[in-house]
Amino acid sequence: MPIQRRGPTNPADAGDEVPAPSPAESSPSVPSPTRSSALPVAVQFPLAAVLSFSMASLGYSLLGEVTKGELAAVSRSQDTWEEVGLLAGWRGIELALGWFGKLDSLDVAMLDLLSHGPHVSLPLLLCFYLLSTFYNLSPSTALYALLIDITSVAAPFYLLRPLSAVHTPSAAAKLPNRELLDVVLQLYTAALSTGIYSVVLVLSMRFILPRILVVYFANLPTVEPAYAASYTSILPVTVVFGVAASTFIFAPFATTGHVKEDDKIAAFDPVEASLGETVWWNTWGYTAKTKVVIRRTAVAVFVSAINTYLACSKTVSGVEPLGAAAYAGVWAFAALCSGVGLGFVGNE
């Protein structure tokens, strides 16, 4: 991860730092899109949550009818209200992270793909890659479930919140480092993320996952796909993850400009600083640009890990918690490595 410090910072100024990951918010000179919701701010997030849950419920009900319960056949029902509440509560936390983190509809779609790509929900979460690869779930059913999951999150955000400047062509032209949004460079960063995901997944399936699958995943028809995994065979999956990681992490990070808080970091004098001030600077004394890549990578890792763990342990039949944690760790590590790699590419 690039460490962009131009001197330590004073913790008394911490409240002034730009909290949102969007470049439009980090750079006051960049205009935001003009479209906005006419609804009161207080009701926008509750409405987005209700719409998301409703769309997901309707979508999975229709999918179950069309596929004659194919997805339900490999899933475990939630037997207690505690399990239902846990999954629903986590879904609410996901939505809150996106909403209060100032993400737009494209951001949450990419984040949802990164975290729900290894799984799809029933009623909230179920393993997409796991089920389609090892449990013989048809690719079309898994794909439709994933699309339902992403749409149920992105559509409410699109209706209630405008796209950020980095995702709006007219506003993106005024962003700092806008040349980094060039199509060729975006293809390059997507290829980099794809390569990172490919290496992590192939090595994991050859040296780690086969034993995990045999010991902790009951009712698996075969683990042959793990042993037979190659960079070519998993490329269709890793390309999707690479594009999502690049879109979610790189573009907002690379186009974040210099802000006034960066000057406060540069003005810090370590000789005269107190111990608390020095500790704060060493912990969070980064430029606004570096904070964007740290936040976004941390969110991608955190949401991917929790989502995948809950998916496997709570909704896939026969999966033990330790196995779910190991499987989730692989995807979380891939997201972490991708964020680090993209951070170095976008470093000044």
Tens digit of pLDDT for each residue in 110-122?
999 998 877 543 2
Residue 49 is assigned to a structural domain of this protein: yes
Q: Is residue 93 part of a domain?
A: yes
Residue 8 has pLDDT above 50, yes or no: no
pLDDT for the residue numbered 35? 55
- Is 332 a residue whose pLDDT tops 60? yes
- Look at the pTM and tell me if it is higher than 0.75: yes
Q: Is residue 31 part of a domain?
A: no
Local confidence band at 74 (pLDDT 50, 70, 90 cut-offs): low
Q: What pLDDT, on a 0 to 100 scale, did the predictor assign at position 132?
A: 64
Look up the domain containing 244 and give its range.
Answer: 38-345
Q: Which of 5-19, 145-159, 176-190, 268-282 is most confident?
A: 145-159
Q: What confidence score (pLDDT) does residue 16 get?
A: 41
Q: What would the mean pLDDT of 54-68 be, rounded to a whole number?
A: 89
In a domain, 7, yes or no: no
**Domain contains 20:** no
Supply the pLDDT for residue 155. 96
Residues 6+ apart with CB under 8 A from 146: 113, 116, 117, 120, 128
- Poorest-pLDDT segment among 13-22, 276-285, 289-298: 13-22
Q: What is the pLDDT of residue 3?
A: 46
In a domain, 25, yes or no: no
Q: What is the pLDDT of residue 27?
A: 40
Nearest CA to 191 among 254, 111, 113, 246? 246
Whether residue 121 is contained in a domain is answered as yes
Residues with Cβ within 8 Å of residue 34, at least 6 apart in sequence: 162
- Measured at the CA of 285, the angle between CA 7 and CA 263, to 5 degrees, comes to 50
Q: Answer for the pair 175, 255: CB distance below 8 angstroms, yes or no.
A: yes
| Structure tokens that stand for 78 in this block | 């939630």
Q: Quick one: pLDDT at residue 104? A: 93
Binned at pLDDT 50, 70 and 90, residue 229 comes out as: confident
* 15-45 pLDDT tens trace: 444 344 444 444 433 334 445 667 888 899 9
Q: What was the pLDDT predicted at 134?
A: 66
Residue with tokens 């941390």: 298
Residue 32 placed within a domain: no
Number of structural domains in the chain: 1
What average pLDDT does the structure give for the chain?
Answer: 80
pLDDT of residue 136: 62
Q: Residue 135: which pLDDT band, with cuts at 50, 70 and 90? A: low
Per-residue pLDDT for 174 more than 90? no
